[in-house]
């Protein structure tokens, strides 16, 4: 089956590594996952509590804003909707920010997403993967171990927070880490929604060679 690349993208067979700051080193004693924001009651989960939730296996395409696309990576993970079930949302919640570690701060990285797009098997907090060339294995620390969000393919991969630490439920579409720095609020690769302003690229954007094979 031939797949269509989104405009301006190039296929890669490898799974490159790209992020800001340090690689988080997992410590089960201190690791927590928090559900907060416009909820009736906040919930904080331990690693064991998260891993006891229902799991699914799903195969997705990943599109990085720096122009690399990787087709057909299979992930095992916990659906976003299973975590969402653990809180009662206040009225008019339509958006979330999914958080991840940045230089030791559990909430240093984030990306905003619309809630309605995250209800399927393609919105997963993953911990295991395989592809055509690699057998089942844990997500490496550099890819976000112990838990990493992979967004549906209609979002660029910056929406996939590594070292995931929580979900903030919101009534407003508040921007995340890169969206504050000029990346597009929606980030649909098929519409080439890379940056808020195409003629004014955000500082810190390194272009195609930024998504290195490390």
Residues that bind ligand MTE (CB under 6 A): 15-20, 64, 100-102, 109, 143, 157-158, 160-163
Residue window 54-73: x/- pattern of binding to Mo ion, with contact defined by CB under 5 A? ----------xx--------
Name residue 148's beta-bridge partners: 126
Nearer to ligand MTE, 1 or 132 (CB): 132
* Residue nearest to ligand MTE as judged by C-beta position: 100
Cβ contacts of 166 within 8 Å, gap of 6 or more: 33, 34, 35, 36, 98, 99, 106, 107
- Residue number, 18 or 53, with CB nearest to ligand MTE: 18
Which of Mo ion, ligand MTE, none does residue 163 bind (CB under 5 to 8 Å by kind)? ligand MTE
The one segment of 109-117, 127-135, 150-158, 167-175 that binds Mo ion by CB under 5 A:
150-158
Cβ proximity of 126 and 62 under 8 Å? no
Bridge partner residues of 153 (DSSP): none
Is residue 204 classed exposed, middle or buried when 0-12, 13-18 and 19+ CB atoms within 10 A define those classes?
A: exposed
Least Cβ distance, residue 38 to Mo ion (angstroms): 28
| Cα–Cα distance for residue pair 95/38, rounded to 1 Å | 10
Q: How far is CA 28 from CA 47, 107, 133, 137, 144, in A?
A: 6, 17, 30, 19, 14
When the beta carbons of 52 and 104 are compared against ligand MTE, the nearer one is 104
Q: What are phi and psi of 76, to 5 degrees?
A: -110, 130
The smaller minimum CB distance to ligand MTE, of residues 116 and 213, is found at 213
Decide if 212 contacts 17 (C-beta within 8 A): yes
Stretch that binds Mo ion, among 9-17, 44-52, 136-144, 156-164 (CB under 5 A): 156-164
Shortest distance, position 64 Cβ to Mo ion, whole Å: 5
Closest separation in Å from C-beta 31 to Mo ion:
24
Least spacing, CB of residue 66 vs Mo ion, in Å: 5
């Amino acid at each position: 089956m031939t797949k269509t690349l989104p405009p301006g993208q190039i296929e890669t067979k490898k799974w490159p590594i790209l992020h800001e700051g340090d690689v988080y080193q997992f410590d089960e004693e201190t690791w927590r996952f928090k559900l907060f924001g416009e909820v009736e009651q906040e919930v904080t989960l331990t690693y064991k509590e998260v891993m006891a939730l229902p799991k699914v296996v799903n195969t997705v395409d990943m599109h990085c804003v720096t122009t690399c696309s990787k087709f057909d990576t299979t992930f095992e993970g916990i659906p976003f909707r299973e975590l969402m079930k653990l809180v009662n949302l206040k009225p008019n919640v339509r958006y979330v920010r999914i958080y991840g570690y940045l230089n030791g701060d559990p909430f240093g990285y984030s990306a905003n997403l619309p809630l309605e797009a995250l209800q399927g098997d393609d919105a997963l907090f993953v911990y295991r993967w395989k592809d055509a060339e690699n057998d089942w294995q844990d997500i490496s620390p550099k890819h976000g171990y112990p838990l990493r969000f992979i967004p549906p393919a209609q979002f660029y991969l910056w929406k996939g927070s590594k070292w995931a630490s929580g979900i903030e439920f919101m009534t407003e579409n508040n921007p995340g880490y890169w969206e504050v720095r000029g990346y597009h609020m929606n980030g649909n690769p098929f519409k080439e929604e890379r940056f808020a302003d195409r003629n004014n690229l955000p500082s810190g954007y390194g272009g195609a060679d930024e998504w290195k094979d490390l």
